[in-house]
Amino acid sequence: MPFSKQDGQNTPAIAGISYAFPAGSRTVAELAKERQLSSSPETLQSFGFGSVHVAVEESPYDLALAASTRLLDEAGIDRSSVGLLIYGGTPGYMSFVSAEQAEEGAAGLCTMSRFKYPASRLQYDLDLPNAWTFAVDQLACTTLLGAARVARSLCLTEGIERALCVSSDFFPVNAGREAIFNCTSDAACAVLIERNGERNRLVSATTVTKGYYWDVDALRDEIVASYFPTARHVMLRTIADAGWAPGDVDWIIPHNVSMRSWQILSGLIRLPNARLFTDNIARHGHTLAGDNFINYRDAIDGGCIEPGQRVVLFAYGFGAQWTGVAVEA
């Protein structure tokens, strides 16, 4: 089901975005040498990937805390005004261990350590005494878009003033660095949603879930085939639910999957005036849930997106989830 702006109602908006990368990075060629890729480095380079961020000593929680702290410092808000904290990404106890210790972290999920939750710890460490805190899971790369959508709804329905959405992902060494021809990166991203905002308003969102594709290994071909028509459908519906025409869209803010797939999808959706923000694909790779908001912030900081422009954020996540969000900058 979509949500969409209704005339006369306040529109929740993005009040701030911050992110954190680990200290380490690898080029695609280096990843190939470390046998972290399934495809050749040349193929991935031709798809637009250059380098990715690789956590070694940092834990996902470290990155989540860093991104959230920076965001709250930048926003300069009264922390007691944050009524909601939604965490997503690396699950439970695994988020507290470094990439090198991922197996130990996974083992912790089978002990009483499973109840050591990063969401609760974030609420404490960030000093958000009034934030109802929970996590969202199983949305993969659409986690942060999903969290923002939930936050937006709760701002409207429960009068929550501010909500903090945080995602933090990492790829354990044994998982490799490639997911269906996309080079994956480690990162955390934090997004502050406010109930009333004049800039970066969340105008509409659409999510389509297709549970048939839950088995990502067995249905790999089917997922590739369904990706494009469903992505087109979701993006066009997001635009329509925002009350926009296709020609009204100024920017598409992508998740950082291959340039080739975005070229194909652009051909399918045909938004005549929309530009695609691709600057981060080569330098950051695919940070799973963080891409759209990291890109949105960079596009604003870089002067690409101007106030009032109409922007569509889109991501696909295993599960299978297709999510589009319309933002009026």
Using CB under 8 A, list all residues that contact another protein.
39, 43, 181, 210-212, 220-222, 224-230, 232-233, 260-261, 263-264, 267-268
Q: Which is nearer to another protein, 109 or 268 (CB)?
A: 268
Structure tokens at 106: 């996974």
The nearest distance, CB 257 to another protein, in angstroms, is 12
How far is residue 58's CA from residue 103's CA, in Å, rounded to a whole number? 15
The nearest distance, CB 199 to another protein, in angstroms, is 34
Residues near 193 by beta carbon (within 8 Å), at least 6 away in sequence = 12, 13, 14, 15, 148, 151, 152, 155, 162, 163, 164, 165, 202
Q: Which is nearer to another protein, 24 or 41 (CB)?
A: 41
The nearest distance, CB 35 to another protein, in angstroms, is 18
Question: How would you label 66-97 residue by residue, b for 16+ Cβ within 10 Å and e otherwise?
Answer: bbbbbbbeebebeeeebbbbbbbbbbbbbbbb
Q: Which is nearer to another protein, 222 or 279 (CB)?
A: 222
The nearest distance, CB 180 to another protein, in angstroms, is 9
Residue in the block written with tokens 């922390």: 79
Q: Which is nearer to another protein, 25 or 138 (CB)?
A: 138
Q: Which is nearer to another protein, 56 or 268 (CB)?
A: 268
Q: Which helix (H) or strand (E) holds 107?
A: helix 102-108
- DSSP 8-class letter at 85: E
Residues near 317 by beta carbon (within 8 Å), at least 6 away in sequence = 139, 140, 141, 142, 143, 289, 323
Work out the angle between the directed axes of helices 118-125 and 60-75 (0-180°, nearest 10).
40
- DSSP 8-class letter at 320: T
What's the count of helices (H) and strands (E) in the chain, helices before strands?
10, 13
Q: Which is nearer to another protein, 56 or 224 (CB)?
A: 224
**96 phi, psi to nearest 5 deg:** -95, -10
Q: Which is nearer to another protein, 45 or 69 (CB)?
A: 45
Structure tokens at 261: 């797939």
The nearest distance, CB 142 to another protein, in angstroms, is 16
The nearest distance, CB 319 to another protein, in angstroms, is 13
The nearest distance, CB 227 to another protein, in angstroms, is 7
